[in-house]
Chains A and B, each alone.
Chain A
Amino acid sequence: MRNKLFKRATLAVVCAGGMLAGATAQAADWLSLQGTEPAGSAARAKVWGFIQPQYTDIGDTKLKAGPWGGQDAIFNVVRPDNDTDSTFHLRRARLGVRGTGFPLDSNVNYFLLAEFGNNGITKSDGGSVKLTDASVTLNHLKKYTRLRVGQFKTPGSEDGLQAIHVHNYNNFSLAADQLLLERFRDWDGEANCIVPDPAAPLPTAQDAAWYLDCSGGNGVNGSVGAYRDIGLQLFNTFRIADGPGVNPWEVSYAFMVGNGNGIDRGDNDDNREYYYYLSAGQVFGGKGPRRQDWKVYGWYEDGKRSILDTSNIAGTGGLPPVDDTPDFANFSEKDFDRDRWGIGGTYRKGKYRLYGEYIWADGMIANGTDGGAVPGSVSNPVAAATSGVVSTANTLTDNEAEGWYLDAGYLVLPNLELDVRYDKLERGTEGNRALQRDFERWTIGAQYFFNKKSRFTLNYEFRDIDAPDGNATAKEVVDSVDDVLTAQLLIIF
């Protein structure tokens, strides 16, 4: 029902777009800012980029309980390396080029961006430069629609859609991070990976099959999705009732179809991902990413994922800690729904800023790791003769989650903004309630702008995790979570 209503609304806007005043807006909306170039004015090729060196410090609390008690907790180590709780790191370093190609013709734009930093985009295969964006936009029918083809940000949550270098915090909201920033894995993590030879914890050559599937703890099999997909998008923004002394209205829509298999690789199945987006608001003044305006928006993402289903572990007898290692050859790949949708609003005027969003998820919910441990780490022996279990990353293939955030900012000085954000996430709310985890976080922050192209952002996160229906061990494990301090410098060039 929700799906149909949203699809109809988007279609209505697409049709109505032809009747609106033909004035299309090259304004601060993210669809246009990231997909198009200013007509008649853009360069053939404008080189640009940004660098975000960061210091992150998470408390050093080890897991308080469970089979991995005393070891590092996955939520207390710095991603993507998972090696330490505090480090200086190159969070992002991007270099790109954008423009028109042929300046006389504003109807064809392009956007190219690559990531050189150390993060979930580059780390997957040992660390290498990755293409984050590569797209061409055709504006020949710009009175009604624009067509963008390639790899680029999907229309959806403001937290993911906005340009990362103007994000007000160093970390995404809980809901955007856990429900939308997709990590692709080979299997669901249900079956347990047990070290085959307890006398030799590292698998030997004859355990090659086990090693292939288990040694990495079911880690990511490529770049994180980075809120992007490879596909084709129809979109536009219309400005209405524009004139002297009037705050114009802007209406935006987007419809995209993509592979639904992340970035930097082709599709792995016949399923397509469909994205719908609608927004409306008023512009108070200014331009660029921090213009003064308000906006309400809604979005829907409809897709399926193919993943190896190891939930039927009867074939291997697989309950820890003493049963056989899983026989991956006998598991089968299945398709699971992955739907996401959300509504939200933004407001920025004068010294004040207020953002909020509610996000729902159905299917393919990332569900942490076994015991809260770092994937690939081996559990403590229960007894001298018992093999250890390897902690794996898990996915709730058929479950639900929801989360929201509310975020406010205040310009104390022209170059100093204080921010506060509250966000909450309830994960695994259906089925076995013992699996549900509730996350709550307060973030306080400050942004100091050296100039409009560089700033320093300091955040402190007060974090809390609860296992509302979990057993005593589960509650103790999640109680291990520490607060986080991040300090980031940004320069845009």
Chain B
Amino acid sequence: MEAFRAEARGWLEDNLPASLRGGAEAIESALMRGERLGGDAELWRRRLAEKGWGVPTWPVAYGGGGLSTAEAKVLAQEMAALGAGNPMLGMGTSMLGPTLLESGTEDQKRRHLPPIARGEMRWCQGYSEPGAGSDLAALQTRCEDAGDHWRLNGQKIWTSGAQWADWCFCLVRTDTRRKHDGISFVLVNMRQSGVETRPIRLIAGNSPFCETFFTDARVEKDDMVGPLNGGWTIAKRLLQHERSGQGGGGRIRGGGASLPELAETYVGRDESGQIADADLRGRILANAMDARAQTLTLKRAAEEPRGNQDPGATTSIMKNSGTRIGQDKAELTLEILGAQGLGWEGLDFSDEERAAVRAWLGGKATTIYGGSFEIQNNIIAKRILGLPDPLGPARNQTAS
């Protein structure tokens, strides 16, 4: 493994443009804003695509690097050490790709995976609808057989990045008589006249999500993943990949200065050197200890053998604890900043102060999207703890 580490380090040093060292966050936030990469970032994308290391564990045949999990871990460490961003990041690499690898046909893998691996296609997720949020299986977007293709009519909501996406993986209703067993999983080309997107302005002032309307939109016959009416199983599997990349799988949101550092500046210390407000000190401390426990748990989860790499139901635990700790941290940040933590615009407030306000508001989404805090608790109760379904037979009633 040390030989591979040397190889990875050497390749990265040769190929990562100097201007991008330490620029991981800049690349990732540009991708989050839907920007097309240019200049050195575009050069880096092409080099990484050529090597397949944007998706290191995917098979070489589909544009991946063909690395083992252990090698990919080493590569990630070496990339982190150089602050190298991954220009392929997105729902294609984190969610659809792993799902297609598991459940796609050979033809689907060959058509869709390489453009994702090269960072050339941007994907969005068409799951939620106005009447199907936590009760996702109540979705009603109709998908009908139109002979040589499928015809799509309906509305999706909370479609992240739909306004700049090239493709959408979408849950649709193919049978109105059965609820879960009447859902199929299809891949929709967003670049067609039957698709319209409208950004939704959120409380943080930004618009990361859209409403997406399908009016006689066309889906090719060979772009249904899994069997007709067999989409729910695939949808749930994909959600596990999604959760493992959220609060849970990932770090705790709310970066920047640590809370004790902020408290030192905005609250001060008492004569004994402690954060001046004892109650605030206690709550900052509790948050820091929770965050440490979360980090140790992520580490433990990564080290423990997990059979077939199944992200499984434990991702629900990590999502709930991680998102809650991140939200607590954002609330504490605001409280520490005091009046300076209430600014919206203008030069009376620093960039960091305004960013803290936006992050606090934006972070409220973390316990709602990807299955809300309450839905995760339902999953833990049923799938891990084996408690009875509170809805009983009502859960599987036909969508009306």
- Chain B associates with chain A: no
